[in-house]
Amino acid sequence: MTQPVKRSYDSTRRQHQASQTRREILRVAHDLFVERGYGRTTIADVARGAGVSAETIYATYKNKATLLHRVWDVTIGGDDAEVVFHERPEIQAIRAEPDLAKRLMMHARLATATARRMTPFVNAVHASSGADDAVAEMLAEMDRQRYEGMGVMAAEAASSGQLAVSEQECRDLVWATTDGLLWHRLVQVRGWTDDQYADWLGRMWVATLVAEGT
């Protein structure tokens, strides 16, 4: 009598479901952190919104502080891909542009899109920073990561031979103008469009950072 053929286990579907669950948890956590604030959002709240158990969230993210950090990663990157920000395809396209003025205009458009994603989240995190050490640490980490990324961009701007200022000044200026505050004030408060803001930011960077005649 022939034995039934055993089918090899295909985990693709289960992996896809797990990925979908993680994305839903992060989406719900992001929305609740923005709407209620980090301090007033519990793991139980996130679990209810995502349709999973609190145990599932703890098993995946260990605690709320880790969940906050992962939400930040997805918010700044725009998706849940495990890729360092300055190595993402859209960043690589900017870094590959040889003309520094064009590169800065491209960067300004990306910075504007990033500001739209990150600013509501950052504002919500700031609101809880005085009451929670994890939040204060997260804010410091946000700035550290952003400053590190601007260092990569500034170093490459300097190596182009088209920079009108020092590499350090370039790094500091771009870092200071990409924290979302200017975007919030001009777009959300004063009513500028994202296109208008991106064009202004790019032109300001070009006028300040690019050497004449290059």
CB 174, CB 110: distance < 8 Å: no
pLDDT bucket at 101, cuts 50 / 70 / 90: very high
Q: Is residue 4 in a domain?
A: no
Measure the CA–CA gap between 77 and 89, rounded to whole angstroms.
11
What is the pTM (predicted TM-score) of this model? 0.75
Measure the CA–CA gap between 17 and 4, rounded to whole angstroms.
29
Domain-ending residue, one of 79, 112, 138: 79
Res 3 pLDDT > 90: no
Measure the CA–CA gap between 115 and 111, rounded to whole angstroms.
6
- Higher-pLDDT residue of 75 and 166 is 166
- Tokens coding 72: 């930040």
Of 10-14, 54-58, 179-183, 192-196, give the lowest mean pLDDT range.
10-14
Give me the DSSP letters along 45-70.
Answer: HHHHHHTS-HHHHHHHHSSHHHHHHH
Instruction: Kindly state whether residues 210 and 108 are assigned to the same domain.
Output: yes
59: Cα separation from own chain's centroid: 24
Averaged pLDDT, 168-180: 95
Instruction: Kindly state whether residues 148 and 63 are assigned to the same domain.
Output: no
Instruction: Kindly state whether residues 74 and 87 are assigned to the same domain.
Output: no
Instruction: Kindly state whether residues 121 and 149 are assigned to the same domain.
Output: yes
- Higher-pLDDT residue of 12 and 7 is 12
pLDDT bucket at 55, cuts 50 / 70 / 90: very high
Domain range for residue 101?
A: 83-214
List pLDDT tens digits, range 158-168. 999 999 999 99
Instruction: Kindly state whether residues 51 and 131 are assigned to the same domain.
Output: no
pLDDT for the residue numbered 86: 64
Distances (CA, A) of 195 to 105, 110, 202, 206: 11, 11, 11, 16
Q: If you search the block for the tokens 């800065």, which residue do you land on?
A: 104
Measure the CA–CA gap between 142 and 125, rounded to whole angstroms.
11
Instruction: Kindly state whether residues 160 and 190 are assigned to the same domain.
Output: yes
Averaged pLDDT, 100-109: 97
Instruction: Kindly state whether residues 75 and 92 are assigned to the same domain.
Output: no
List pLDDT tens digits, range 134-145. 778 878 888 888
Measure the CA–CA gap between 39 and 126, rounded to whole angstroms.
11
Measure the CA–CA gap between 12 and 18, rounded to whole angstroms.
10
Res 50 pLDDT > 80: yes
Of 9-13, 18-22, 53-57, 177-181, give the lowest mean pLDDT range.
9-13
Domain-ending residue, one of 79, 95, 120: 79
Averaged pLDDT, 146-150: 90
Distances (CA, A) of 151 to 50, 67, 122, 171: 37, 27, 21, 6
CB 173, CB 212: distance < 8 Å: no
